[in-house]
Every structure is written in structure tokens, then in C-alpha cells.
């Protein structure tokens, strides 16, 4: 969710009770944490020093939390891009499975109506 209200995404995508989506759901935060850790330990961006409201959009959190460091904003956008790339193949596979299930349900409904 854009303002960190994630329930529509969690239940609408659906991530909950979808075994395919559990893989990116676990891997993505770990990889994004490593990206942030790399940039902070190499002193390319300062560590977060300010508490940011929880409803702040994701990429703005590092920018505001570091006191307005522009590279931190770019790192936040990088993490968003990495998350998108990680989720994309899983969403495609999930959509194909959902389409296949819908087609099978339509065929089963059509055969029972005859």
C-alpha cells in the first residue's frame, strides 16, 4: 500500500494463503534490508535519525528519516524497483494459475448445466 496500509495488497493480491506468494513475501524484505545495510555501512547514506510517521509512502521514509538526504531517496526508489522485479514473476505465475482455475471452473459449470 502506498501509505503503508497494506491490507488491501495482502488480501487482494492475494498473498495470504497463497503458497506461491510466500517466497517473494519473505525474500523481498531481506534483500531490501541488505541493500539499505550496504549503503549505510559504506557511509553512502547516513543512518535514519528521525522518526517518520508510519503512513509515509515507502520511498520517502529513508529521505525524511535521514534528514533529507537525496541519495537515501534514490535508495528507497531502488528498493521499490528491486521489490517489483522480485514480485513480478510470482505475480505472473499466480495469474496464470488463477486463469487456469477459472477456465476449469467454467468448463465444470458448463458440463454440469448440460
pLDDT tens readout for residues 71-85 = 999 999 999 999 999
Q: Is residue 1 part of a domain?
A: no
CA 45 to chain centroid, in Å, comes to: 22
Residue range 17-26, pLDDT digits in tens: 889 999 999 9
Per the structure block, which three cell numbers stand in for 41?
555501512
**More confident of the two residues 113 and 91:** 91
> What are the tens digits of pLDDT across the range 29-63?
999 999 999 999 999 999 999 999 999 998 899 99
Answer yes or no: is 107 within a domain: yes
pLDDT at 114: 62
* Residue 2 within any structural domain of the chain: no
Residue 100 domain flag? yes
Asked if residue 57 is part of any domain, the answer here is: yes
102, part of any domain: yes
Q: How many domains does the chain have?
A: 1
Q: What pTM was estimated for this model as a whole? A: 0.84
What is the CA angle 3-48-32, rounded to 5? Answer: 65
| pLDDT at site 11 | 85
Amino acid at each position: 500500500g502506498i501509505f503503508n496500509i497494506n491490507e488491501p495488497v495482502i488480501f487482494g493480491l492475494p498473498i495470504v494463503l497463497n503458497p506461491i506468494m510466500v517466497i517473494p513475501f519473505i525474500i523481498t524484505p531481506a534483500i531490501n534490508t541488505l541493500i539499505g545495510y550496504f549503503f549505510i555501512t559504506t557511509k553512502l547514506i547516513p543512518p535514519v535519525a528521525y522518526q517518520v510517521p508510519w503512513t509515509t509512502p515507502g520511498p520517502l521514509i529513508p529521505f525524511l528519516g535521514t534528514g533529507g538526504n537525496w541519495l537515501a531517496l534514490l535508495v528507497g526508489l531502488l528498493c521499490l524497483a528491486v521489490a517489483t522485479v522480485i514480485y513480478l514473476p510470482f505475480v505472473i505465475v499466480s495469474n496464470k494459475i488463477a486463469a487456469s482455475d477459472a477456465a476449469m471452473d467454467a468448463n465444470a459449470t458448463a458440463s454440469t448445466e448440460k
